[in-house]
Chain A
């Protein structure tokens, strides 16, 4: 193994002194990703590098291959499944946040963005020009476009309304695990039929290459309609969304819900009275306001067919904002003591389920399972019901022992896997590696997993790119 000083000196020659840090607290800070569990100190990287171009990334990777130096790639490392953190000693972290170029080619209907460009920044830039970024991730204030594309996530939006981000990726610039720079895809809005190398990289969570630039189709902005509904039972709410699709209505942009237990403290905090039941929020889209409103009226009708206590279109932007904030800032629930006790977050899950089982799964998640620690904690159901993707969130009293809280988190992971396995699905927001790797193996079998490992080994013979992720190490 090379001495660290030589390694750092060599890397500084590639990226410049100002784009490398070997300060201990930078190495620690970048190693700590969004997963709550502490990362292993023995895996503290030697340095953090922030290249400013695909060429620099290529040189770093080529150098790493000659030294068998593990590289862990991250944008903002906001994912909470443990994939960005270092898993082997003697590594470097390659952070993409200096890759922030942006070119908008309106005549050809695409943009090219550096992988490290912030999502919210891009969303605003597009909005200024009348375009729409087809993703809305909860951590968008810090997350990068490259990270979202690497995981193929659109966050809270309904997949079948606009598609997942892969449907908008016309191509990527990527550095392979052996350091070659590839440019994939096309500059035409007609994407390649048959082999498109883009598919090797979008959604493969950094296993097969480092995305340094993304080419995205431009999407014109929409007009929107807003519906709020309250239901007496969670099963009613689930059936409402099942009916929406059974009646062949156009999918909404957002279909969100919060159970009444979650709504109670949040409504109180907002000063908007008592919730009339479990809350559903829908945002419809249309090319004209008339179209968006007509779709919203259809949603109200569907809600009423499923015994909504109240279902109405919300016209006032201020009122829309109140409901939206109530849902988005659900962690505000932690501000309210429950049964006189101060609460802390104890565990969470995300499970996509077949539409036909929505009405069954939501109550099951709420309290129909037999995970004892979760049943003892205070559980809430919420999420993206319009895309058949449900979250469970558990809080526990601050006075619980740390081990009991960890048990809660472990049971949430197991319950998530159980639901996905039982109903033949896979979570739709944050990817399948890291802490979810055991589920991936169970869900798709060892044959599929072996295939994935074989491809990884073929593309990355020195095992330098995010090693440990495909093995499920944490």
Chain B
């Protein structure tokens, strides 16, 4: 099935630009329903992982994907986010990263 995602897929650079406003304060961690004590399973951890994966090639696509799809997309992180005033939206970034990964895999298959 050909899924036309082009209209609302952000590029890796655009994604990095969205992430740059994150204050790395970790205040979103406690509010995340998937956080059980390890930071990667928190909004800040996921956003940081996305950043370092796309900027520096850290971690495998499969590891990142597993992390991103464990996000509940509930948006509670945004209520606590200190950078929300600068346009930060952790759950939105995570969704955009998922879309980008899917688009990248599809493109490689073509």
CB-CB under 8 A for A29 and B85, given A21-B38, A34-B25, A78-B25: no
Give the dominant DSSP class at A's interface: loop
A344, CB-defined interface residue at 8 Å: yes
A107, CB-defined interface residue at 8 Å: no
Complex: how many Å from CA A424 to CA B67? 49
For B80, give its contact among A28, A141, A331 (CB under 8 Å): A141
User: Chain A, 319-345, contact with B by CB distance < 8 Å: what is the 0/1 string?
Assistant: 000000000010111110000001011
B73, CB-defined interface residue at 8 Å: no
Q: Is the CB of A25 within 8 A of B45?
A: yes
Complex: how many Å from CA A50 to CA B38? 10
B59, CB-defined interface residue at 8 Å: yes
CB-CB under 8 A for A28 and B24, given A331-B83, A331-B85, A334-B86: no
Q: Is the CB of B21 within 8 A of A344?
A: yes
Residues on the A chain within 8 Å of B83, using CB: 331
Interface residue total, chain A, C-beta cutoff 8 A? 34
Q: Is the CB of A25 within 8 A of B23?
A: no
Complex: how many Å from CA A30 to CA B48? 10
Residues on the B chain within 8 Å of A345, using CB: 21, 86
Q: Which of A344-375 contact B (CB under 8 A)?
A: 344-345
Q: Is the CB of B23 within 8 A of A24?
A: no
CB distance from B29 to the nearest CB of A (A): 7
A38, CB-defined interface residue at 8 Å: yes
For A28, give its contact among B30, B49, B85, B87 (CB under 8 Å): B49
Most buried by A among B21, B63, B83, B85: B85
CB distance from A95 to the nearest CB of B (A): 9
Q: B-side interface residues toward A, CB under 8 Å?
A: 20-21, 23-27, 29-30, 37-40, 42, 44-45, 48-49, 52, 55-56, 58-59, 63-64, 67, 80, 82-83, 85-87
Q: Is the CB of A139 within 8 A of B25?
A: yes
Q: Is the CB of B24 within 8 A of A344?
A: no
A170, CB-defined interface residue at 8 Å: no
Residues on the A chain within 8 Å of B80, using CB: 141
Q: A-side interface residues toward B, CB under 8 Å?
A: 21, 23-26, 28-30, 32-36, 38, 41, 44, 50, 76-78, 97-98, 139, 141-142, 329, 331-335, 342, 344-345
13 extra interface residue pairs, beta carbon distance < 8 Å, beyond A26-B40, A29-B42: A23-B40, A23-B63, A25-B49, A25-B63, A29-B49, A32-B24, A35-B24, A41-B52, A41-B56, A41-B58, A76-B26, A142-B27, A342-B87
Q: Is the CB of B48 within 8 A of A32?
A: yes
**Could you list 12 A-B pairs, sorted by A, with CB under 8 Å?**
A21-B38, A21-B40, A25-B40, A25-B63, A26-B38, A29-B45, A76-B26, A78-B24, A141-B27, A331-B82, A334-B85, A335-B85
Residues on the B chain within 8 Å of A334, using CB: 85-87
Q: Is the CB of B55 within 8 A of A29?
A: no
Q: Is the CB of A25 within 8 A of B27?
A: no
Residues on the A chain within 8 Å of B64, using CB: 25
Complex: how many Å from CA A17 to CA B58? 24
Complex: how many Å from CA A128 to CA B56? 47
CB distance from B38 to the nearest CB of A (A): 5
Most buried by B among A21, A28, A36, A78: A28
Residues on the A chain within 8 Å of B30, using CB: 141-142
